[in-house]
Chains A and B, each alone.
Chain A
Amino acid sequence: MKLRLEEVLHIAALARLGVTDKDVEIFQEQLSNILDNFVVLNKLDTSTVPPTAQSIEIQNVTMADEIKLSLSQEDVLANAPQRGGDFFKVKVVLED
């Protein structure tokens, strides 16, 4: 099955991944090849098999509601590419 060009662009948009025309072409080819390799799974009847999301038995792990020290604001902001005072700075999110 070959992915359509629009499909590749749609996935890139969902992933918020900027792509060039050349990228799209390469992805179309490579992703289609990889997806072809997934077809083998259809040979297996899994209608009565439950899915496994993780391999360990434990479930619903909760933490005690205790006050603990967290990272300082300085530590958290230390890697910020753009900082405005005590905040992360980004371009306008909601425009008029």
Chain B
Amino acid sequence: MRLKGEVTFLRSKWCWKTKNIIREDNLPNNTQLTIYEAHQQLKQKKISSVELTQSYLQRIQHVDSRVKALVSVTADQAIIQAQIADKMIAAGECTPLTGIPAIIKDNMCTRGIKTTCSSKMLEHFVPPYNATVIEKLNKAGMVMVGKANMDEFAMGSSTENSAFFTTRNPWDLKRVPGGSSGGSAASVAAGEAIYSLGSDTGGSIRQPAGFCSVTGLKPTYGRVSRYGLVAFASSLDQIGPLTQDVRDCALVMNCISGHDPSDSTSAPQKVPDYSKSLIPDVKGLRVGIPKEYFVEGMQPEVKAAIENAINKMIELGAVVDWNVSLPSTPYALAVYYIIAPSEASANLARYDGVKYGFSYQEGANMWDNMEKTRQFGFGAEVKRRIMLGTYALSSGYYDAYYLKAQKVRTLIRREFEKAFTKYDVLITPTSPTVPFKIGEKTSDPVQMYLSDICTLPINIAGIPAISIPAGFAGGLPVGMQIIGKPFSEEMLFRTAFTYQQATNWHLNKPVV
């Protein structure tokens, strides 16, 4: 059942503030637990993982025909995993993620389970191995209930580039959930799983987290292994959690972080216990507000919501400097759209129709087959980026585009480094607008690219940033981005946790 506009928003708010009341949409009432809460119930044997998993599978059945967050539902496998988890719990081996239903973005390899990247190219691809994050989660007793829709090969900001279907924003089904991890964000917002994993190359975790009012972290580059993540832009890609609150985010990071010999860009730094950083105190925290992130064309309601959130931080004891400048910020868009497509054009050269994936067989010769495999297997945005990257790397243009972009990348990094000598964190909006309507930006790639304007620079610099719910504008979610220096995830968690302890935005859930 769905009501319109503001009424929906208010009623859902009521429903969720009074926990343990059956949701408006008449769904199992244990599909509104956080990881932390579900873990307590599992540990105290108040509920079994099989029961919990069945509730979520039921919820998926109820809502996913409208939200369309999932490319595949892995029900049978999930029940088996839940049985394993229940045995672990009975044996006293219950970790915080044991028996907890999760959804994984469909660009992380899952052995024996289709991994499509929402592309015709990989529509029937069944990986022969698990990504490192999947291995880690399996070891912890994860229950994977499904794989999430995304923009094809993670290229996009709305899931409209999925070769299969567009995911809907649970807050307004006529609007996009953001992208590319749109299915991951929408599924958590709609209660189809307790948490999900996404990947972020230019904002692909944070922008959909902001659009769907969930918590999403892009960790420091190298913090989480990329082994088994289908490569888009290798120097920018990073896996991270999408959760209902900051505490859960820390719990997932505890499991998936760490050095991996299978990923040579994986960081050797020791992983702290992130749950220890959940301290509700920001007194004296030095916060910078970079003015370049309040871009022209930003919706005034978004600006107002973020200013309110910043004022809240001041109230909580943070020391805020409203006048920080990162002058190279306006160049980030160009840098990103040279570097990311260049790396993509190289990474996607592997799709030749020979070893796996879609394969055109009717051509005149081998080269003809290969060209037509790529012509019919890739969608429009992927082709556009392959073309762009190939051009930027081609003889005669390399210096003007790719090398130039790499040099400006250095300038952007240095500005962040300098800023972090004065500030502990920087705060910005996650996106300049609230979720836009499906179809609104599909005809103009440059307009679509602009929706990631506040998140791209963070990937370019390789630093961590978290997006948390910071209010609503006209009933639609607004996300706040908190940025830190490399390996400062603890600082981000502490800041975001303090804000969530003092506000209720993250407790609001949509009625789907």
Binding site for B on A (CB under 8 A): 7-8, 10-12, 14-19, 23, 27, 30-31, 33-35, 37-38, 40-42, 44, 46, 49-56, 58, 61, 63, 71, 75-76, 78-82, 88, 90-93, 95
Contacts and interface: CB of A to CB of B under 8 A. Distances in A.
| Interface of B: prevailing SS | helix
B285 interface: no
A11 B390 contact: yes
Nearest to B267: A56
Contact of B410 (A15, A52, A63): A52
Contact of A81 (B354, B375, B391): B354
A91 B367 CA distance: 9
User: Which 10 pairs between the two chains have the least Cβ-Cβ distance?
Assistant: A55-B462, A18-B375, A81-B359, A51-B406, A79-B356, A18-B371, A75-B128, A46-B407, A61-B264, A91-B366
B370 interface: yes
Nearest to A72: B128
A49 B345 contact: no
Contacts of B370: 16
A34 B341 CA distance: 12
A40 B330 contact: yes
B462 A80 contact: no
Contacts of B406: 51-53
Given A34-B446, A46-B407, A56 B374 contact: no
B206 interface: no
Contact of A58 (B267, B359, B383, B460): B267
Interface in B382-396: 383-384, 386-388, 390-391, 394
B235 A53 contact: yes
A52 B88 CA distance: 46
B408 interface: yes
B404 A46 contact: yes
Contact of B357 (A46, A54, A79): A79
| Interface of A: prevailing SS | loop
B372 A18 contact: yes
23 contacts: A8-B387, A10-B394, A15-B345, A16-B370, A18-B372, A27-B384, A31-B388, A33-B445, A37-B333, A37-B446, A41-B334, A46-B408, A49-B407, A49-B408, A51-B406, A54-B221, A54-B235, A54-B265, A55-B413, A78-B126, A79-B356, A81-B359, A90-B366
A10 B370 CA distance: 16
Contact of B394 (A11, A27, A30, A91): A11
Contacts of B391: 7, 11, 31, 35
B125 A55 contact: no
Given A18-B372, A44-B331, A71-B129, A49 B411 contact: yes
A27 B390 CA distance: 13
A74 to B, nearest CB: 9
Interface in B357-385: 357-359, 361, 363, 365-372, 374-376, 378, 383-384
B353 interface: yes
Contact of B446 (A33, A55, A63, A92): A33
Nearest to A15: B390
A52 B413 contact: yes
A7 B367 CA distance: 20
